[in-house]
Structure 1
Amino acid sequence: MKTLLCVAGLALCASAAAAQDFYDTTVLRTVNLDFHSANWWSLLQANYASQTNILADMTVAGVTYPNVGVRIRGNTSYTALPVGSQKVSLNIDVNFVDDDQTVMGFKNLNFNNAFTDPTFCREVVYSNLLAQWIPNGRANHIVLTLEGQNWGVYANIQQYDKTLLKQHFDNEDGLRIKMPNNPNGPGLQYFGTSPSSYSQYEIKDPGGFADPFQPLIAVCQAVSTTPPASWQTIDQVFAIDPSTWTVALENLCADDDSYINKGADFVAYRNPIDGRMHLHQTDGNEAFKVATWSATHNFGATSKPFLSNVLAAAELRQRYFAHMRTILPLLDWAHLGPIFETHKALIDSAVQADPKKLYSYTSFVNNFTTTVNLGGGGPFGGNVLGLKQYVDQRRALLLANVELNAPAPVITNVQASTNQAGVTIYITAQIAGPVVPVATARLFYQPALTGPWTRVPMSDNGTAGDGAAGDGVYGAALPFTLTPGQRVPYYVGASSANSFSSTTFEPKRTEIAPNWIEAPAPPSNGDVIFNEVLARNQTVLADEMGQFEDYVELYNRSSATVDLSGMYMTDNLLTPTEWQIPAGTLLPAGSTILFWADEDLTDGPLHADFKLSSTGETVALFGTDGATLIASLTFGPQEIDVATGSLFDGANQAYSLLDPTPNASNQPVCGFVQYDHLNPFAHTLSLSASGSASVGTTVTIQLAGAPALATALLAWGTAADYTPFESGVLLVVPNLAVIPFGADATGTVTWPVGVPDLPALAGLRFHLQGAVPGTGLAALSNGLEVVLCP
């Protein structure tokens, strides 16, 4: 995440190399495998059935990773290959011998052969589309070489493993199940109490259960046999709303290998925090092909009880249609066309040169827009609809669905009356028909992050914190008050008074990305402060075991050593003695100390017995009496490899730190710091720079994400700020200048700046922030700090 900065006037700048992302869609890397055995090809084939790895050394971007495990993967993508084809899909276990070995943070890789997809792009685009909405692997393309021989273009698909789960759940160690390909899959049907009746399911991680089939059986029983009217009972063991997103996306993209179509080719994860199982997608190479599915494809199939039983509840059916209505705009060639064309342009020459490709280059070119014939017969031959044809035809079919396109309410201005602890909090929202009157409005919230969601009605009667009666503002009081540091997720739903009770929600992603209320924790006024915390550590720093775990960093801002022995650290203010710091733990003056928040007490003395929540929470340090609060830090939803902490060592105000500095000062001697407010998801503007932070150099500042041809502003000052506004958070004291610029047709401002060759400028510190007036939450960018280098 390193990019950035520059300044004008005296002109300054700074930069850093961008962190490598193995699934960067703008990069076409070559991956080479050199096998340890001379008969590697025959071994790969012989080991297919047993899924046994053979050893190889893998080279990516000039770095060689020794002793990786390689095997052929896939079902029909291998067994139905044309006779003599060597275009096999491969599974790579990077940590096969060395458990700590990763490639850019990833241990398990899938290289897929684009079986039945002449464009090579269906699974890549489908995977990335889903990853924007639900827990799902990302994807890009690679060129694969084996023993230096060109094996051509492959889809590089992120595996559904603990690395992925850690990005979306507070605990990645839960029960993980896969239902492999099966045209007539079990689909979470209940087959009785015997585990042998569920042998089609593969247990990928038992999640600590002696018999991991028992929680699966409990879910199947609930989903299959509980009456739809009692769906809230099902929701206690099966996460209905997040799983509804999965089947809605599968339907939109007509994923043939899916729960919604086969009752198979899906994965499920039981979140150990709340005990609910989530339904997720896997195997997406058959998406974007069949345009004729109805909006309720297989809702009548009793072999898929989540569709036929659970979503038969009228309220849940409309929740499904609400999610479909939200994602339907994605199914537009004006949106998807440029994405597919960008991938096509990136791999075009590599496809031409691919000696192993399954289909002709002409088919590759044509299938983006027109139907092509794969040749041969059976289910894996015949015609494949062009991508543009699919998008246009499926969009037209769904737009013709009366229930899907019935008018639903419009919800805006969802907000909490306060975030203070110990007082009544009202949630309000502006809700309009606008075509059909509003029938019902509800507030959904999760009172305890370890329990189910609940709901209360919202009213427009003037007594629910909603202002005047009948003014279109609906309100509801949370039926409890918050404690300091407590966080509660919430969202609002409303239904129309039409025959369908058409429903909408705000925020749109409901349980997956709700709003949050955070009651502030008491400020840290002592000598020790939380200087930096990282809750989604993927590549920043590994612990002694080579694992990228959560961490917290303390800083001593006094002039004397502080003895931390016997103090307590916790991520729950209601249990202040959650973990005791070992004896002999000293923190010298002006220094930092790092603790791993990973629940792995056997890994070392500085490993705490709690994990950080990627959705945000409060961490606190208590005295040896277990009652005196010494320091605390409250943080919100976290991005991968983005920390929360002090911009200046020991300062109370916390920011999102896009360039974490574990076990080091947060104040560079020279260079840059990219920082943001505590919810970096809330804006789309991104300020960056390329060049050097040294005097006598030229750098280029870039502000991206603005509306096309908009007027943008660059605020320049000598200090950071943290002042919330409706349009974002002001992160700069603009006491030097505010400079207007015009964005180009892509919404980008580019500004080359020269830094005078004056040694006296070295050490000067500046702050920058971009803005676009009148664009709502996207109006203010991240902040940039730069310290000029000699």
Structure 2
Amino acid sequence: MDVQIKSAYQKRALTSQLRRMQRSLRAFGARSRGDSALPRCTPSASQTQCTEKPTCWVFAVAIGILVEVSQGPAPPAFSIRAPCIHKILPTFHCLRTKLNHSMKGAEFCFSMLLFLLGGPVLSQGISLYNPQLLYDEEGGLYDPTMLRELNVIFEDDGYHQTLVDAFFNNPSLRIPASVELDGVVMDSVGTRYKGNSTFCLPNESGNVKVPYNLDFNHWVSGQTLLGYKKLKLANAWVDPTYCKEYLASRIYRKYLPTPEINLMKLNTQGQYVGLYVNTESINKQFCQKHFGEEDGVLFKCDGAGVFCDENGEATNGGIPDLRYLGPNIEAYLDSYTLKSEEGWEALVDLIETLNLNPQNLGDKLNIDRALWAFAVNTVVSNLDTYNGYYVHNYYLYQDEEGRFQMIPWDLDNSFVGAVMGYSYWNPNEVYHFDPFFSSFDPAWDVRPLADFVFNHPQYRKQYLAHIRTILSESMDMLALEQEAATMQALVESAASQDPNSLFGMNQFSNNVHNAFWADWGFAGILSTVAARVDFLTSHSEVDVLDPSISLVQAVNGILEAQVTDATTVELLWTNNMNAAEFEPVEMVDTGVSGDVQAGDGVYTATVPVGANPEFLFYIRASNDEAMSLKPARAEYEYYIYDASATADVTAMSARSDQTWTIAPNPARQSFRLVNCPVPSRIWVRDVQGRLVKEETWNGEAIDLVDWERGLYMVSSEDGLTARLVVQ
């Protein structure tokens, strides 16, 4: 089932790509005018071989290249694209599509030459910003290939009852514990229990496997665990696979800032408590890591209601739905939790703008980031979110530009998870959850932000473009199955020995593939993905002809993009290296204003007036039905234009043949390059791509005294790039 569904979606997408190629080629003045069409590719009796091998060879190459290019954030270099043909040919069989193979041989060969020689992106002073470098490297606290064992020792053996009492009566209370990891012991770690339903459910049954919050910096200033001040351990109480939150996080992080996740064993007082999900805290460190700053307003958007009190009774709280409740701060205290020192006025201002002056919302909210959050929620069937069943599980951070950024949180019910419940008996209730809430009762569904963006023509198209990107990049059934299998192989022993798990090992393995019923419905990962992908790819607003953008380049101050199936094409740019609001500039294909030839599908724009020598940009193309972006993950990814340099498209991407390293790393006072030739020209940029330092390095330590804490990219003249963490 999974392969058929995946192939159906790819077939539609590739058919569209080939048709665009046909139209684009026919626009060229010189082309073959022969009357004979290419022979059709027809299956043999076995349905596995092609009777017209030359034709199938050509189309297999075309489709193979398109598939290759669709993988990852940047297109492969020519040296990779050329041999990939030989890799693809033996594996491709006849494609049973309804294509009309009417392209002439000369047209097709010319198109292949254009592709192989040019590729979809030619960089002349253009580099691609890669935010994946912000995440932990191999060996870091959140390295998913490592299963670490954390040992927590409390001075008082009665710690559990103390922390349970504090959960209900004094939630901010922490008690000290010593924590050991990999032979390193840290004292006076502030420890408390956390969670809501995931605390109440095990606690009510006398199970000690409850979620933990450990603050290494609470009493000992500067103390960290592998560079992190806080550790949050979730108990995966409703996830038999231990994989749902992890797999979801790997998808979310491609498109917007997302907490990192891996798995960890926990012992307390020398006893194995169980296997936990280790989730990065959203705090100042997180904001510094992703936004290059940490002093803005931060809210956790979860109501004050609790799943249980000391008597086991639930209490009601507000709903963080961004409804305007008036100017008084008190009206919002029950729906949002302030995590910074101040910020209520800023939140009320955002909510007021959304509800009363939505035309100005872009000044208060990074709308594209919210659209990405909504799109991933929709595709991975995370219904425990703002645009799902229950409005909560997100943070809002206001950056120095005054715009709030939406950050996803608590992804344990991704792939439907325990939200399935009684829908187990009618699963399409969750699998076919409408991406626009069209089937919901408006009185029940009051969500001003969703209402605004879904009823705004541009934002609706943008949201749908993001959905298509996620479907094409991140919902590969075989890849998800393999990733789950790899994680489960790593933790299988720890899961089987977990004395406090709610589920058995049969559910541990089977729930990856299928839903099951145990007095409640728990959705399977792959069964959810299969049904969800089938539904979304057939949706009338998803399954449309969207514009195609390729061949982005800069030549003598002119920015160009090859675009088909678009009525408007825009360059969106900003000077702000913190990726503030991008400004649109029209790109033209009229033969004037720097455009070489009218109607050739190459749209151009001059460097915008007011742009710095180095600025950020991406391309947006639209038609009546759809929108496309380049890079497809914009605005999380974007191009950096540098008028003074010829940059490689993989700039700021780590290379596997790294020959020098940074030490110490993390660093506080200074650092050196180990095994780097002397002298070497080096460049240091912050996480937003801003140049911090440029010098000829002669082997001496580089002083960090005046540097801001955070993540930096150090590049050398040999083209290598390494990450530096400044604490």
Query: Partner of 1:426 in structure 2?
Result: 558
Equivalent position SS for 1:132:
coil
Tell me whether 1:469 sits opposite 2:607 in the alignment.
Answer: no
Q: Distance between the aligned counterparts of 1:267 and 1:469, measured in 2?
A: 47
For the 8 Å contact 1:242–1:278, the answer to whether it is kept is: yes
1:79 to 196, 200, 225: 200
Confirm or deny that 1:415 pairs with 2:536: no
Alignment of 1:153-552 (within 5 A): 153-181=275-303, 185-199=319-333, 200-206=335-341, 211-227=342-358, 230=359, 233-261=360-388, 262-272=390-400, 274-289=401-416, 290-297=430-437, 303-329=446-472, 330-375=474-519, 382-418=520-556, 425-433=557-565, 438-449=566-577, 452-480=581-609, 482-483=611-612, 486-497=613-624, 501-520=625-644, 540-543=665-668
Q: CA deviation at 1:310?
A: 3.1
Which of 107, 118, 124 is the equivalent residue of 2:246?
124
Where 1:78 maps in the other structure, the secondary structure is: helix
**Residue type at the aligned position of 2:627:** T
Q: Secondary structure at the match of 2:233?
A: strand
Q: Deviations over 1:224-263 (max 9, x none)?
A: 2225xx3xx2111111112211111111112232221233
2:663–2:672 Cα contact (<8 Å) kept: no
**1:64 to 2:177 alignment:** no
Task: Determine whether 1:148 maps to 2:270.
Answer: yes
Aligned to 1:13: none
Q: Kindly provide the amino acid, as one letter, of the partner of residue 336 in structure 2.
A: Y
State the distance in 2 between where 1:405 and 1:252 align.
Answer: 14
* Higher share in helix: 2
Conserved 8 A contact 2:663-2:671: no
The SS at the match of 1:389 is helix
Q: Give how far 1:172 is off.
A: 2.1
**Where does residue 148 of structure 2 map in the other structure?**
29
- Give the TM-score taking structure 1 as reference length: 0.62
3-state SS of the aligned residue for 1:80? helix
Measure how far apart 1:191 and its partner are: 1.5
Measured in 2, the distance between the counterparts of 1:97 and 1:47 equals 18
Cα deviations across residues 85-136 of structure 1 (Å, max 9, x unaligned)?
2210111112222121111111111111112111111111112221222111
Q: Which runs of 5+ in 2 are unaligned?
A: 1-136, 306-316, 417-429, 646-661
Letter in 2 for 1:494: A
CA distance in 2, matches of 1:641, 1:489: 18
Q: Compute the displacement of 1:403 (Å).
A: 0.3
Residue 324 of structure 1 deviates from its aligned partner by: 0.5
Q: CA deviation at 1:374?
A: 3.6
Contact 2:575 2:611 in 1 (8 A): no
Contact 1:58 1:64 (C-alpha < 8 Å) held by counterparts? yes
Offset from partner CA, 1:590-637 (integer Å, 9 cap, x none): 6746444xxxxxxxxx426xx59x8xxxxxxxxxxxxxxxxxxxxxxx
Identity %: 26
2:548–2:628 CA contact under 8 A, matched in 1: yes
Secondary structure of the 2:363 match is coil
Counterpart residue type for residue 220 of structure 1: I
- 1:40 matched to which residue of 2? 159
Q: Report the Cα distance in structure 1 between the residues aligned to 2:550 and 2:249, rounded to whole angstroms.
A: 30
Q: 1:661 to 1:476 in 2, by over 3 A?
A: closer
Instruction: Provide the rounded CA distance (Å) in 1 between the counterparts of 2:537 and 2:446.
Output: 28
How far apart are residue 399 of structure 1 and its match? 1.4
User: If the length of structure 2 is used for normalisation, what is the TM-score?
Assistant: 0.67
- Work out the CA distance in 2 between the residues paired with 1:339 and 1:448: 37
In structure 2, distance between residues paired with 1:248 and 1:539 = 40
CA distance in 2, matches of 1:404, 1:432: 18
What is the SS of the residue equivalent to 1:91?
strand
CA distance in 2, matches of 1:152, 1:38: 18
1:205-228: per-residue Cα shift (whole Å, max 9, x none)? Answer: 13xxxx51111111111222225x
Cα distance between partner residues in 2 of 1:167 and 1:660: 12
Structure 1 unmatched runs, 5+: 1-17, 376-381, 419-424, 522-536, 559-568, 580-586, 597-605, 615-639, 647-652, 663-790
Higher strand share goes to which structure? 1
Q: 1:658 aligns to what SS in structure 2? A: strand
Once the 2 structures are TM-superposed, how far is the Cα of residue 61 of structure 1 from its aligned partner? 1.4
Which of 225, 234, 256 does residue 103 from structure 1 map onto? 225
Deviates more, 1:45-54 or 1:146-155: 45-54
1:73, 1:90 within 8 Å by CA — same for their partners in 2? yes
Greater relative contact order, per chain length (Cα 8 Å cut-off, separation 6+) = 2
Is the CA contact (8 Å cut-off) linking 1:136 and 1:164 kept in structure 2? no
**Does the 8 A contact of 2:547 with 2:621 survive in 1?**
yes
Task: Give the distance between the partners of 1:496 and 1:297, measured in 2 at CA.
Answer: 24
Cα shift at 1:394: 0.9
Structure 1, residues 750-772: CA drift from partner, whole Å, max 9, x if none? Answer: xxxxxxxxxxxxxxxxxxxxxxx
CA-based RMSD of the aligned residues comes to 3.4
